[in-house]
A and B are shown apart, each in its own frame.
Chain A
């Protein structure tokens, strides 16, 4: 699995053309769409070769071992299509959410399949989820790969490493 191997190697130098303010605004926007369960706006951020990955602590090779989420672009679409039916009972009614991002770091560059270089950036996050069974605090570190496509920033990759992914976790029905 190329992506998994990619992940094990260090990124190249930070590519040109990514303004820190613009990238931060993009990450905050992605967070807000997820918080507000704005599925159309959130989905529109992704590139066609997207990967949305939430590993468990034991996930080394996601093609052979379980992850919490390991969605390519097509499965992201399937996931959102299901939520939009209103019959995704884990999100019906939807969770009330707000998250904070901090410690945003530009990590470097990753060559992409269209010949360009994506910016790899990571951030710490905390999400407060409020729902019928009570409130739950989710936290961890997210690594993003951001691409400039037709002048706009788009999301090619998001890996979410929960701090407690070595333990049983409750239902995760919202977009983390």
Chain B
């Protein structure tokens, strides 16, 4: 599900999906036996809470305005011109987890960066979106998807489905508030 965390921040909360499977390290696309040192260290340190950590994995969160953490990788987006951004990306590295760190570097390198098997396609979409915006007609960019089914969670945050535009609405409404002149 997507969650508007307020102040422009949002997350794609993947935990409900991983909880359904309840398999440690599934979030990382692997199994316990492939990263035994990491799993043992987490169990030793967190005891009864370890399973929750190993099942739920890392956050997938957009921190307003330009820091994005996607489980195993970190992005920093720097606007350099009206029609141009530079996106920096690198692997998350955990203190004292060399076994997992090595895999995160390898997986991150395959996925992100200018030639990444995920990110190159994402940036292609960013560029096509930009072309759409530059066309000006139609005048509005529609980000209403899922507006009809938003709910408030137990902590008071607005939540929507996994592909709903709840996070984008949160981002742009905060941006608008910051950019408008004080009346």
Contact = CB atoms under 8 A, between A and B. Distances in A.
Contacts of B91: 66
B105 A89 contact: no
A135 interface: no
Q: What is the interface residue range for chain B against chain A?
A: 20 to 34
B99 interface: no
Interface stretch (B57-65, B108-116, B138-146): B108-116
A75 B109 CA distance: 11
Contacts of B37: none
Nearest to A56: B113
A168 B86 contact: yes
Nearest to B117: A82
A171 B86 contact: no
A92 B23 CA distance: 36
Interface string B30-54: 0000000000000000000000000
Contact of B117 (A63, A65, A79, A133): A79
B115 A173 contact: yes
A173 to B, nearest CB: 5
Contacts of B127: 133, 171
A5 B46 CA distance: 38
Interface in A41-67: 54, 62-67
A28 B90 CA distance: 34
Q: What is the interface residue range for chain A against chain B?
A: 20 to 34
Nearest to B120: A90
Interface string B97-108: 000001001101
Contact of B109 (A67, A88, A89, A173): A67
Contacts of A170: 114
B102 A68 contact: no
B105 A64 contact: yes
A69 interface: yes
Contacts of B106: 63, 70
A168 B102 CA distance: 24
Contacts of A64: 102, 105
Interface string B51-90: 0000000000000000000000000000000000010111
B173 to A, nearest CB: 29
B108 A66 contact: yes
A78 B117 contact: yes
B124 interface: yes
Interface in A74-106: 75, 78-79, 82, 88-90
B114 A172 contact: yes
A163 interface: no
A66 B113 CA distance: 9
B113 A173 contact: no
Cβ-closest 4 pairs across A and B: A90-B120, A172-B115, A168-B86, A89-B121
Interface of B: 86, 88-91, 102, 105-106, 108-110, 113-115, 117, 120-121, 123-125, 127
Given A90-B120, A171-B124, A173-B115, 7 more contacts: A64-B102, A67-B109, A70-B109, A78-B110, A82-B117, A89-B124, A90-B124
